[in-house]
C-alpha cells in the first residue's frame, strides 16, 4: 500500500505542476527523435575499414595480373595451345610498419612511427602468397607438356608441384 500512496502523491504533485510534466514529455520525445534520426542516416565511413577495403582490390589486381602473365607465357610453350590459368592466394597484402622503441629502467615501449599527416610509416609490404595454381590448356593431356608446365609454374611462383594442377582444356 505504501507504493500506491507514494504514486498517488506524486501524481497529485504533477497535476499541480503541469508545465514541468509537459517539458519532461517534450524533452523525452525530442531525445527519441534524435536517436531515430541517427539510426536512419549511416555514419561516416571509418578510415580503418576503408584501408581494409582498399587492400582487397590490390590483392585481386595482383592475382589477375599473375594469371594473365602466366597464361600468356604457358600459351607460348610448344604443345600447350590455348591456356587459362587460375591462381589462389593464401592471404592479402601484409604491411609492416616502422616501430620506435624506447627503453628505460628495465622496461621497453614500442610505438608506431607517425608521419606528419598522422599515418603510420610503412616499412615493408609483403605480397600475397600463392597457395595453388590450376592450368587448363589444349596440350594438358600430354604427360610431357604437363610436366614442363608444372616445372615452369613451380620455378616462377615457388609453389610445390603438389599444388599445381594441369588439365586438358575442352575443345
Phi-psi region of 106 (alpha: psi -120 to 50; beta: other; left: phi over 0): left
Residues 15 and 78 in one domain: no
Residues 60 and 135 in one domain: yes
| Number of compact structural domains in the chain | 3
- For residue 51, pLDDT over 60 is answered with no
Residue-number span of the structural domain to which 119 is assigned:
95-126
pTM (2 decimals)? 0.56
Query: Mean per-residue pLDDT for 17-32?
Result: 72
Instruction: Please tell me the predicted confidence (pLDDT) of residue 93.
Output: 78
CB 130 within 8 A of CB 85: no
Question: pLDDT by residue (tens digit) across 145-156?
Answer: 999 999 999 999
Residues 121 and 136 in one domain: no
Residues 109 and 121 in one domain: yes
- For residue 56, pLDDT over 60 is answered with no
Residue with the larger pLDDT of the pair 74 and 107: 74
CATH number (domain holding residue 133): 3.30.300.30
By the 10 Å C-beta count (0-12 exposed, 13-18 middle, 19+ buried), 50 is classed as: exposed
- For residue 43, pLDDT over 70 is answered with no
- For residue 98, pLDDT over 60 is answered with yes
Q: How confident is the model at residue 35 (pLDDT cuts 50, 70, 90)?
A: confident
Residues 15 and 82 in one domain: no
- For residue 11, pLDDT over 80 is answered with no
Residues 9 and 35 in one domain: yes
Residues 88 and 54 in one domain: yes
Instruction: Please tell me the predicted confidence (pLDDT) of residue 16.
Output: 61
- For residue 50, pLDDT over 60 is answered with no
Residues 143 and 156 in one domain: yes
Residues 56 and 88 in one domain: yes
- For residue 42, pLDDT over 50 is answered with yes
Residues 136 and 151 in one domain: yes
Amino acid at each position: 500500500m505504501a507504493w500506491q500512496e507514494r504514486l498517488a502523491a506524486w501524481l497529485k504533485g504533477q497535476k499541480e505542476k503541469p508545465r514541468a510534466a509537459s517539458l519532461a514529455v517534450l524533452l523525452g520525445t525530442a531525445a527519441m527523435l534524435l536517436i531515430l534520426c541517427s539510426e536512419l542516416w549511416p555514419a561516416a565511413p571509418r578510415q580503418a575499414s576503408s584501408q581494409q577495403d582498399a587492400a582487397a582490390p590490390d590483392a585481386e589486381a595482383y592475382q589477375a595480373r599473375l594469371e594473365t602473365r602466366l597464361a600468356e607465357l604457358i600459351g607460348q610453350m610448344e604443345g600447350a595451345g590455348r591456356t587459362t590459368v587460375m591462381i589462389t592466394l593464401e592471404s592479402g597484402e601484409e604491411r609492416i610498419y616502422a616501430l620506435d622503441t624506447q627503453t628505460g629502467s628495465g622496461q621497453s615501449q614500442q610505438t608506431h612511427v607517425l608521419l606528419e599527416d598522422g599515418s603510420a610509416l610503412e616499412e615493408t609490404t609483403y605480397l600475397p602468397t600463392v597457395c595453388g595454381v590450376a592450368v587448363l590448356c589444349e596440350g594438358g593431356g600430354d604427360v610431357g607438356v604437363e610436366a614442363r608446365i608444372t616445372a615452369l609454374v613451380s620455378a616462377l611462383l615457388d609453389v610445390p608441384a603438389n599444388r599445381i594442377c594441369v588439365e586438358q582444356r575442352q575443345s
